[in-house]
Amino acid sequence: MSNSAVVDATVAHATHTLKTTTPVSSVSASLARHGVPAGQSEPSDPILFVTSELADFVKVGGLGDVSAALPRALLNHYDMRVLMPAYREVLESIWPVHVIDHLPGLADIPACDLGRIELPEGLTVYVLICPELYDRPGSPYLDEQGVEWEDNAIRFARLSLAAAQMAMETPEGRFDDQGWHPDLLHLHDWQTGLAAGYLRWNNDDTPCVYTIHNLAYQGLYGPEYLSRLGIPDSAFTAQGLEFYDRLSFMKAGIIYSNHITTVSETYAREITTPAFGCGLEGLLSDCAREKRLSGIANGIDDSWDPQTDAYLACAFATNDWAGKRANTDHVRRMFRLAVSHGPVFAVVSRLVHQKGLDLTIAAAESIVRAGGQLVVIGCGEPAIENALRNLEARFPGAIGVHIGFSEREARCIFAGSDFLLMPSRFEPCGLSQMYAQRFGSLPIAHRTGGLADTIEDGVTGFLFDELSQQDFQKAIDRAFRIFGCTELFYAMRRAAMAIHYQWRLSVTPYRRLYHQLMVPAGVTTHSLRHVSI
Ligand SMILES: Nc1ncnc2c1ncn2[C@@H]1O[C@H](COP(=O)(O)OP(=O)(O)O[C@H]2O[C@H](CO)[C@@H](O)[C@H](O)[C@H]2O)[C@@H](O)[C@H]1O
């Protein structure tokens, strides 16, 4: 399937759904007549936020953080609720689960119960109770050996189908939890992409926003899954979810949703190019031309505050560099590093190809030779884990590596380090660099995606343009030089700590988008539901 075929298909799809011609500008007038000021919504508008991770229970990476923070940030404006699988961590949590409904299966997708949990700060979470799919050890995506669960297609089709069932009329009736029924679905990453498809295949036009956190993971499965997942054969075309003879959950999300967002403006542009589009650049370029693709940057929540973070060895504020140093000493002890006056470089990351750990590993010796130290926390690909373990063995006292996942250690490292290394090949937004800046650790990062948007070179961190060892090394050398000029170094720290990427800033564009998709009954036409923000 060529990309031009995808573009043609998308135009056809858009043309099919864009039958009426009411200009978007007339929406404001209609809304005003309905008593809704432009750009605002009724606080009670019900929205379902569908995700495969929620940091309150389980977090593999940034998606877990975003799922915990963004719905809470939007609660003042919407009756937003979350839907996720009832993994073992959910069932064993301290929060009681009340079973409220039963959702039928479809083809090989088993039936399940729907539970409800009330979390702090008024967040309601619906959980899919299906022990055969979700109650197991390991991570949401991988078993304990790091191998993908072989039934992931079924597991996440179950999640997607549940979201669609909660939104649409079914033979069993319409989902109604004491008057709550979603008017819009906000879907996240490939694990939820089929939800938009299940709606459209049932002639339901509930609006869907689809957020891409990482285009590299697409949920690709063989065509035999069409019947297993109850997907109509007619959807297996270039206009539908077919992608090089396989079915793509990611493409389903893009094709069948009303609007696609990704998590930074730069990444939204990058994914329309062959270098970053993972084969979907043609389709995504078309979405961009239709103003159906936009970038809304992530924020970070208020718990990332060095003055109040209970995990830190010592709370500290801007200019309290003795307090910051106490955290550095603590990190040195955590990793059994030698006492030193040199800088501490850090990595807090999933250990995957995306994150450019090969460049960091290659730079490690030069960091040590120049008097620096390196601490790493992460887990992921075994080859990267082993290469890091070897480094630690080669440079005892100068390099410390913890293979694993620990929120507490991650926070201590952000607080105790001087620099954070992020030579990511691509980075849709990146949260670690924002956390690091907040805690006075200056990121050294490739100028790509959200890193380019959130780091000011030479002011709040260091950016390098070409993804090469040489350019990365030059950025590290600059960091050493600045570290040697104490006043300059402290000025950069102050600048980094002063920026605060609050979720508040991301709330406004999301509200504008939701609002345009949820125009009041009587005003809504399908054409108005493809919007630009
Ligand atoms: N071993 C470990 N122990 C403790 N904490 C660890 C850890 N390894 C990673 N983390 C934490 O996990 C999160 C990682 O988030 P990132 O946004 O930096 O990358 P990720 O690639 O997972 O997210 C994807 O989705 C997010 C959300 O949209 C995008 O920002 C990003 O670019 C995209 O790749 C951070 O909170 C980090 O501190």
CATH number at 437 reads 3.40.50.2000
Atom of ligand 1 at shortest range from CA of 59: 12
Whether 236 and 347 share a structural domain? no
Mean pLDDT of 513-524: 73
Is 198 inside any structural domain? yes
Do residues 281 and 168 both lie within one domain?
yes
Amino acid symbol at 168: M
User: Across 163-177, 385-399, 496-510, which has the greatest mean pLDDT?
Assistant: 385-399
> What pLDDT was estimated at residue 171?
76
Q: Is 407 in the pocket of ligand 1 (CB under 6 A)?
A: yes
CA distance 312 to 192: 36
Asked whether 380 lines ligand 1 (CB < 6 A), one says: no
Contact 401, 376 (CB under 8 A): yes
In a domain, 314, yes or no: no
C-beta 350 within 6 A of ligand 1: yes
Domain membership of residue 352 (yes or no) is: yes
**pLDDT at 41 exceeding the cut of 50:** no
Q: Is residue 62 within 6 Å of ligand 1 at its C-beta? A: yes
Q: What is the mean pLDDT of residues 520-530?
A: 45
Specify whether 511 is located in the same domain as 387.
no
Question: How far is ligand 1, taken at its centre, from the CA of residue 62, in Å?
Answer: 4
As a whole number of angstroms, the distance between CA 196 and CA 207 comes to: 9
- Identify whether residues 372 and 252 lie together within a single domain: no
Residues 335 and 467 in one domain: yes
Is the CB of residue 66 below 6 angstroms from any atom belonging to ligand 1? yes
* Structure tokens belonging to residue 268: 């939204």
Instruction: Give the distance (Å) from ligand 1 centre to CA of residue 430.
Output: 7
Q: So what's the pLDDT on residue 24?
A: 29
Q: What are phi and psi of 43, to 5 degrees?
A: -60, -20
* 379, 352: one domain: yes
Q: What is the mean pLDDT of the chain?
A: 90
What length is written for the chain?
533
Residues 156, 278: one domain?
Answer: yes
Average pLDDT over residues 56-61: 94
Confidence of residue 44 (pLDDT cuts 50, 70, 90): confident
**Triad 419, 423, 427: Cα angle to 5°:** 110
What pLDDT score was predicted for residue 390?
A: 98
What pLDDT sits at residue 159?
A: 98
Give 340's contacts (C-beta < 8 A, 6+ positions apart): 332, 371, 373
234 and 352 assigned to the same domain: no
Sheet of 419-422: strands edge to edge?
399-403, 373-380, 344-351, 419-422, 442-446, 462-464
Among the ranges given (296-300, 345-349, 399-403, 504-508), the one the predictor scored with the smallest mean pLDDT: 504-508
Question: Each residue of 169-185: b (16+ CB within 10 Å) or e?
Answer: eeeeeebebeebebbbb
Ligand 1: which of 56, 350, 421 to mutate, judged by most atoms within 8 Å of the beta carbon?
Answer: 350
Give the residue ranges of DSSP H helices in 148-248. Answer: 152-167, 194-201, 225-228
Average pLDDT over every residue of 260-278: 98
What total number of domains does the chain contain?
Answer: 2
Q: Give the span between the Cα atoms of 52 and 40, in whole angstroms.
A: 29
Pocket lining: 213 vs ligand 1, CB cutoff 6 Å: yes
* Residue 303 in contact with ligand 1 by CB distance below 6 A: no
Please indicate, yes or no, whether residues 294 and 401 belong to a single structural domain of this protein: no
Q: Is the pLDDT of residue 16 over 50?
A: no
Please report the pLDDT score of residue 43 as a whole number.
57
Does one domain contain both 259 and 139? Answer: yes
Identify whether residues 329 and 272 lie together within a single domain. Answer: no
Does any domain span residue 308? no
Asked if residue 511 and residue 488 are part of one domain, the reply reads: no
Three-class secondary structure of residue 410 per DSSP: helix
- Cα(427)–Cα(412) distance, rounded to whole angstroms? 23
Is 304 a member of any domain?
no
Residue 19 annotated as part of some ligand binding site: no
pLDDT the model gives residue 20 = 26
Q: What is the pLDDT of residue 173?
A: 84
Nearest CA to ligand 1 atom 9: 349
Find the 59 Cα to ligand 1 centroid distance in Å.
9
Percent of the chain with pLDDT over 90: 86
Residue minimizing CA distance to atom 10 of ligand 1: 349
Q: How confident is the model at residue 172 (pLDDT cuts 50, 70, 90)?
A: confident
Q: Is residue 313 part of a domain?
A: no
CA distance 472 to 177: 53
Residue 17 has pLDDT above 70, yes or no: no
- Name the residue with the closest Cα to ligand 1, atom 28: 213
**Three-state secondary-structure class, residue 62:** helix
Q: What is the CA radius of gyration of the chain?
A: 24
Q: Which residue has the tokens 């019900």?
A: 46
Show the domain range for 517.
Answer: 3-299+505-529
> pLDDT digits over 312-364, tens only?
999 999 999 999 999 999 999 999 999 999 999 999 999 999 999 999 999 99
**pLDDT for the residue numbered 26:** 32
- Residue 353 Cα to ligand 1 middle (Å): 14
Residue 517 placed within a domain: yes
At 520 the pLDDT is 56
**Would you place residue 251 in the very low, low, confident or very high pLDDT band (cuts 50, 70, 90)?**
very high
